[in-house]
Amino acid sequence: MLLALDIGNTTVAVGVFEGTELRKDWKVRTDREKTADEYGIVLLELLRSCGLEPASITGVIIASVVPPLTPVFQTLSRDMFGLKALVVGPGLRTGMPILYENPLEVGADRIVASVAAFEKHGGPSIVVDFGTATTFDAVTEKGEYFGGAIAPGIQISAEALYLKTAKLPRIEIAKPRKAIGRTTVTSMQSGLYFGYIGLVTNIITELKKELGQKAKVISTGGFAALIVPEVKAIDCHEPYLVLEGLRIIYDRNREERKSG
């Protein structure tokens, strides 16, 4: 079985694959202060909760946008499973040419999601990942990573209003009943919710102008459920897109090692 780890700024997505099937997945809160042993205890409990033991894991692959945690999970893989984890980055075959001016600047999760989107839906395509930041990634018809856009996530936007103003409260992000708020809270919710829909819709429109109007738009990420139903430009939602991309990349590298 394959253990796929997507280390994000807010959560670590954990997936266990049996062949091409995602057998189980979890979300663990990202904590930069935790050690490999502490994460290992959590992971062991999660695996055993669905009847799995460490010996059942035969491969580990990691995508990380939190550099201090990458070696922590590499150590976990070695100590807990006796395996050298594959880490998405330079030297690992993704099967997707990167057309960014500096390919090293592209977050691993963006590449992994783009690989999965092209594998499942072809190109051209646009991936919208609603995470801590909201990222927009363009994939060409030939399956090349073309570039994209990065915007503050909706949670970051809400926190900025609270932290950078003297009188505005911290609020729950929710769809208000009306656009015209009659209280401070509903006014803030209106601005955040409808404003964010406009942000997402407009960026997709601009990307399509450059990439091609026939581009398919795929969404993923933890905050997608709140926004996606209101964005008509999004064609489909793939909640496990990054985990599936990790499985695809792992398989490609395993096949390459076998042929080598």
Write down the pLDDT at residue 91: 86
Write down the pLDDT at residue 254: 85
- Rounded Cα distance between 123 and 138, Å, is 9
- Rounded Cα distance between 59 and 254, Å, is 10
Write down the pLDDT at residue 256: 60
12-49: string of b/e by CB count within 10 Å (b at 16+)?
bbbbbbeeeebebbbebebeeebebeebbebbeebbee
Q: Which residues of the chain have pLDDT under 70?
A: 255-260
Specify the CATH number for 2-87; select among 3.40.190.10, 3.30.420.40, 3.40.640.10, 1.10.10.10. 3.30.420.40
Report pLDDT digits (tens) over 88-127. Answer: 998 899 999 999 999 999 999 999 999 999 999 999 999 9
Write down the pLDDT at residue 255: 67
Residues β-bridged to residue 5: 14, 62
* Domain map (residue ranges) of the chain: 2-87, 103-245
Domain 103-245 has CATH 3.40.50.300: no
2-87 and 103-245 agree in CATH topology: yes
Write down the pLDDT at residue 259: 52
Return the active site residues: 109
Write down the pLDDT at residue 212: 81
